[in-house]
Protein backbone atom coordinates (compact mmCIF):
# COMPACT_ATOMS: atom_id res chain seq x y z
CA UNK A 1 0.00 0.00 0.00
CA UNK A 2 1.23 3.53 -0.78
CA UNK A 3 2.34 5.52 2.22
CA UNK A 4 -0.02 8.41 2.96
CA UNK A 5 1.11 12.00 3.15
CA UNK A 6 -0.97 14.75 4.71
CA UNK A 7 -0.52 17.99 2.72
CA UNK A 8 -3.57 18.32 0.50
CA UNK A 9 -2.89 21.29 -1.70
CA UNK A 10 0.46 19.97 -2.85
CA UNK A 11 0.05 18.02 -6.00
CA UNK A 12 3.62 17.01 -6.69
CA UNK A 13 6.64 16.93 -4.42
CA UNK A 14 10.27 15.91 -4.86
CA UNK A 15 12.22 15.07 -1.73
CA UNK A 16 16.01 14.76 -2.07
CA UNK A 17 15.44 13.47 -5.57
CA UNK A 18 18.47 12.28 -7.54
CA UNK A 19 18.96 10.54 -10.85
CA UNK A 20 22.26 9.73 -12.50
CA UNK A 21 23.43 7.85 -15.50
CA UNK A 22 26.74 6.13 -15.85
CA UNK A 23 28.38 6.42 -19.21
CA UNK A 24 31.84 5.11 -20.04
CA UNK A 25 32.50 4.72 -16.33
CA UNK A 26 31.67 8.35 -15.66
CA UNK A 27 28.69 9.34 -13.54
CA UNK A 28 26.42 12.03 -14.96
CA UNK A 29 24.18 13.59 -12.31
CA UNK A 30 21.08 14.61 -14.22
CA UNK A 31 18.96 15.38 -11.16
CA UNK A 32 20.92 16.24 -8.02
CA UNK A 33 19.16 16.24 -4.66
CA UNK A 34 16.09 18.15 -5.74
CA UNK A 35 13.52 19.45 -3.22
CA UNK A 36 10.57 21.14 -4.91
CA UNK A 37 6.80 21.26 -4.46
CA UNK A 38 4.07 22.13 -6.91
CA UNK A 39 0.53 23.08 -5.97
CA UNK A 40 -2.66 21.89 -7.56
CA UNK A 41 -3.48 23.95 -10.65
CA UNK A 42 -0.04 25.47 -11.10
CA UNK A 43 1.33 26.02 -14.59
CA UNK A 44 5.06 25.30 -14.53
CA UNK A 45 7.55 25.76 -17.35
CA UNK A 46 10.80 23.80 -17.32
CA UNK A 47 13.48 25.31 -19.47
CA UNK A 48 17.13 24.45 -19.80
CA UNK A 49 19.49 23.56 -22.56
CA UNK A 50 19.45 20.30 -24.45
CA UNK A 51 20.63 17.47 -22.23
CA UNK A 52 19.91 19.35 -19.00
CA UNK A 53 17.41 16.76 -17.77
CA UNK A 54 13.93 18.03 -18.69
CA UNK A 55 12.75 14.76 -20.22
CA UNK A 56 14.40 12.78 -17.44
CA UNK A 57 12.46 14.72 -14.82
CA UNK A 58 9.14 14.30 -16.66
CA UNK A 59 9.83 10.56 -17.05
CA UNK A 60 10.47 10.30 -13.32
CA UNK A 61 7.13 11.97 -12.59
CA UNK A 62 5.25 9.63 -14.92
CA UNK A 63 7.06 6.60 -13.53
CA UNK A 64 8.57 5.70 -16.91
CA UNK A 65 11.98 6.17 -15.28
CA UNK A 66 12.97 5.57 -11.64
CA UNK A 67 15.00 7.72 -9.26
CA UNK A 68 18.33 6.58 -7.84
CA UNK A 69 17.44 8.16 -4.53
CA UNK A 70 14.85 10.43 -2.99
CA UNK A 71 11.09 10.49 -3.19
CA UNK A 72 8.42 11.53 -5.67
CA UNK A 73 4.98 12.20 -4.24
CA UNK A 74 1.99 12.53 -6.50
CA UNK A 75 -0.63 13.90 -4.12
CA UNK A 76 -0.68 11.39 -1.30
CA UNK A 77 0.97 8.63 -3.26
CA UNK A 78 4.67 7.85 -2.96
CA UNK A 79 5.66 6.61 -6.42
CA UNK A 80 8.79 4.87 -5.15
CA UNK A 81 6.65 2.22 -3.47
CA UNK A 82 4.67 1.23 -6.52
CA UNK A 83 5.07 -1.80 -8.76
CA UNK A 84 5.33 -1.41 -12.54
CA UNK A 85 1.68 -2.44 -12.77
CA UNK A 86 0.61 0.24 -10.31
CA UNK A 87 2.74 2.82 -12.12
CA UNK A 88 0.98 1.93 -15.37
CA UNK A 89 -2.33 2.63 -13.68
CA UNK A 90 -1.03 5.95 -12.32
CA UNK A 91 0.07 6.92 -15.84
CA UNK A 92 -3.31 6.02 -17.22
CA UNK A 93 -5.44 7.66 -14.53
CA UNK A 94 -3.59 10.42 -12.78
CA UNK A 95 -1.12 11.73 -15.32
CA UNK A 96 -1.87 12.99 -18.83
CA UNK A 97 1.13 13.11 -21.15
CA UNK A 98 1.62 15.21 -24.28
CA UNK A 99 4.73 14.40 -26.34
CA UNK A 100 6.69 16.31 -28.95
CA UNK A 101 5.92 13.74 -31.64
CA UNK A 102 2.23 13.31 -30.71
CA UNK A 103 2.47 9.48 -30.31
CA UNK A 104 -0.98 8.72 -31.67
CA UNK A 105 -1.85 5.17 -32.69
CA UNK A 106 -1.92 5.24 -36.51
CA UNK A 107 -4.40 2.37 -36.90
CA UNK A 108 -7.01 4.03 -34.68
CA UNK A 109 -9.26 6.91 -35.68
CA UNK A 110 -9.11 10.22 -33.85
CA UNK A 111 -12.02 9.37 -31.56
CA UNK A 112 -10.62 5.88 -30.90
CA UNK A 113 -7.22 7.33 -29.97
CA UNK A 114 -8.87 9.61 -27.43
CA UNK A 115 -11.30 7.02 -26.01
CA UNK A 116 -8.72 4.26 -25.65
CA UNK A 117 -7.27 5.24 -22.23
CA UNK A 118 -10.81 5.49 -20.88
CA UNK A 119 -11.79 2.10 -22.31
CA UNK A 120 -8.65 0.53 -20.87
CA UNK A 121 -10.07 1.68 -17.56
CA UNK A 122 -13.17 -0.39 -18.12
CA UNK A 123 -15.46 2.42 -19.21
CA UNK A 124 -18.21 1.34 -21.61
CA UNK A 125 -17.58 2.21 -25.25
CA UNK A 126 -20.57 4.47 -25.46
CA UNK A 127 -19.49 6.54 -22.44
CA UNK A 128 -15.87 6.85 -23.46
CA UNK A 129 -16.86 7.87 -26.98
CA UNK A 130 -19.18 10.54 -25.63
CA UNK A 131 -16.40 11.97 -23.43
CA UNK A 132 -13.91 11.75 -26.28
CA UNK A 133 -16.28 13.59 -28.60
CA UNK A 134 -16.79 16.32 -26.04
CA UNK A 135 -13.05 16.80 -25.59
CA UNK A 136 -12.35 16.68 -29.31
CA UNK A 137 -14.99 19.35 -29.83
CA UNK A 138 -13.28 21.36 -27.09
CA UNK A 139 -9.96 21.23 -28.93
CA UNK A 140 -11.59 22.17 -32.24
CA UNK A 141 -11.76 18.75 -33.89
CA UNK A 142 -15.44 17.91 -33.51
CA UNK A 143 -15.67 17.42 -37.26
CA UNK A 144 -12.67 15.07 -37.55
CA UNK A 145 -13.74 12.26 -35.21
CA UNK A 146 -13.39 9.48 -37.75
CA UNK A 147 -10.25 10.71 -39.48
CA UNK A 148 -6.97 8.83 -39.03
CA UNK A 149 -3.87 10.53 -37.63
CA UNK A 150 -1.92 10.37 -40.92
CA UNK A 151 -4.33 12.74 -42.66
CA UNK A 152 -4.10 15.36 -39.91
CA UNK A 153 -1.63 18.22 -39.74
CA UNK A 154 0.91 18.29 -36.91
CA UNK A 155 -1.14 20.87 -35.03
CA UNK A 156 -4.29 18.78 -35.40
CA UNK A 157 -2.47 15.66 -34.19
CA UNK A 158 -1.30 17.56 -31.14
CA UNK A 159 -4.90 18.65 -30.48
CA UNK A 160 -5.88 14.98 -30.47
CA UNK A 161 -3.04 14.23 -28.06
CA UNK A 162 -4.22 17.02 -25.74
CA UNK A 163 -7.75 15.60 -25.73
CA UNK A 164 -6.31 12.14 -25.03
CA UNK A 165 -4.25 13.47 -22.13
CA UNK A 166 -7.42 14.81 -20.50
CA UNK A 167 -9.78 11.88 -21.05
CA UNK A 168 -9.22 10.20 -17.69
CA UNK A 169 -9.41 13.50 -15.81
CA UNK A 170 -5.81 13.31 -14.50
CA UNK A 171 -4.41 15.39 -11.63
CA UNK A 172 -1.44 16.51 -13.63
CA UNK A 173 -0.52 17.10 -17.27
CA UNK A 174 3.07 16.58 -18.39
CA UNK A 175 4.10 18.05 -21.71
CA UNK A 176 7.53 17.44 -23.21
CA UNK A 177 8.30 20.00 -25.92
CA UNK A 178 4.67 19.89 -27.05
CA UNK A 179 5.25 22.56 -29.70
CA UNK A 180 8.75 21.47 -30.73
CA UNK A 181 7.59 19.86 -33.94
CA UNK A 182 5.27 22.63 -35.12
CA UNK A 183 5.70 25.82 -37.12
CA UNK A 184 5.71 29.07 -35.19
CA UNK A 185 2.06 30.05 -35.62
CA UNK A 186 0.75 26.55 -34.93
CA UNK A 187 3.07 26.29 -31.93
CA UNK A 188 1.52 29.43 -30.47
CA UNK A 189 -2.00 28.11 -31.04
CA UNK A 190 -1.18 24.77 -29.42
CA UNK A 191 0.58 26.42 -26.51
CA UNK A 192 -2.46 28.61 -25.90
CA UNK A 193 -4.77 25.60 -26.16
CA UNK A 194 -2.79 23.54 -23.65
CA UNK A 195 -2.77 26.45 -21.23
CA UNK A 196 -6.48 27.13 -21.71
CA UNK A 197 -7.65 23.57 -21.24
CA UNK A 198 -5.38 22.83 -18.29
CA UNK A 199 -6.35 26.07 -16.52
CA UNK A 200 -10.03 25.48 -17.25
CA UNK A 201 -9.82 21.97 -15.79
CA UNK A 202 -7.61 23.25 -12.92
CA UNK A 203 -4.87 20.74 -13.68
CA UNK A 204 -1.26 21.11 -12.72
CA UNK A 205 0.78 21.49 -15.89
CA UNK A 206 4.50 20.75 -16.07
CA UNK A 207 5.81 21.67 -19.49
CA UNK A 208 9.34 21.24 -20.77
CA UNK A 209 10.02 23.70 -23.53
CA UNK A 210 12.61 25.62 -25.49
CA UNK A 211 10.01 28.28 -26.23
CA UNK A 212 10.64 31.55 -24.47
CA UNK A 213 7.05 32.53 -25.04
CA UNK A 214 5.80 30.15 -22.36
CA UNK A 215 7.56 32.21 -19.73
CA UNK A 216 4.87 34.85 -20.17
CA UNK A 217 2.12 32.36 -19.43
CA UNK A 218 3.52 30.18 -16.66
CA UNK A 219 2.94 30.65 -12.93
CA UNK A 220 6.45 29.36 -12.28
CA UNK A 221 9.46 29.03 -14.53
CA UNK A 222 12.42 26.84 -13.59
CA UNK A 223 15.68 26.38 -15.41
CA UNK A 224 17.29 22.99 -14.98
CA UNK A 225 20.99 23.47 -14.50
CA UNK A 226 23.53 21.08 -13.01
CA UNK A 227 20.77 18.84 -11.73
CA UNK A 228 18.92 21.63 -9.92
CA UNK A 229 15.76 23.58 -10.60
CA UNK A 230 16.54 27.27 -10.48
CA UNK A 231 13.48 29.56 -10.22
CA UNK A 232 13.37 32.48 -12.66
**What is the closest distance, in whole angstroms, from the C-beta atom of residue 231 to ligand ATP in the complex?**
17
Binding-residue pattern over the window 31 to 60 for Mg ion, x denoting contact by CB under 5 A: -----------------------xx-----
Contact of residue 142 among ligand ATP, Mg ion, none (CB under 5-8 Å per partner type)? none
What are the DSSP calls for 21-75, one per residue?
Answer: EEETTEEEEEEEEEEEEEETT-EEEEE--TTSSHHHHHHHHTTSS--SEEEEEET
Residues 50-79 that bind ligand ATP (CB under 6 A): 50-56
Least separation in angstroms between residue 224's CB and ligand ATP is 6
Work out how close the CB of 54 gets to Mg ion at its nearest, in angstroms, rounded to a whole number: 5
- DSSP-assigned beta bridge partners for residue 13: 37, 73
Backbone φ and ψ for 182, nearest 5 degrees, come out as -125, 155
Length of the chain: 232
Residues 10-49 that bind ligand ATP (CB under 6 A): 21, 23, 28, 30, 48
- From CA 144, how far away is CA 137, in angstroms rounded? 9
Closest listed residue to residue 169, CA positions, set 191, 197, 146: 197
Q: How far apart are CB 182 and ligand ATP at their closest, in Å?
A: 16
Give me the residues that bind ligand ATP (CB under 6 A), please.
Answer: 21, 23, 28, 30, 48, 50-56
Amino acid sequence: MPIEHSDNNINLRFVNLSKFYTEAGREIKVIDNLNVEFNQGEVVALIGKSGSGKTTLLNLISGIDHPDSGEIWLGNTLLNDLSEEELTLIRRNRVGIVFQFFNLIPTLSVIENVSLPRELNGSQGINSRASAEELLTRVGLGDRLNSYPDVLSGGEQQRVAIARALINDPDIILADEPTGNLDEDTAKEILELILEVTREAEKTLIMATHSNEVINYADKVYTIHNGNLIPE
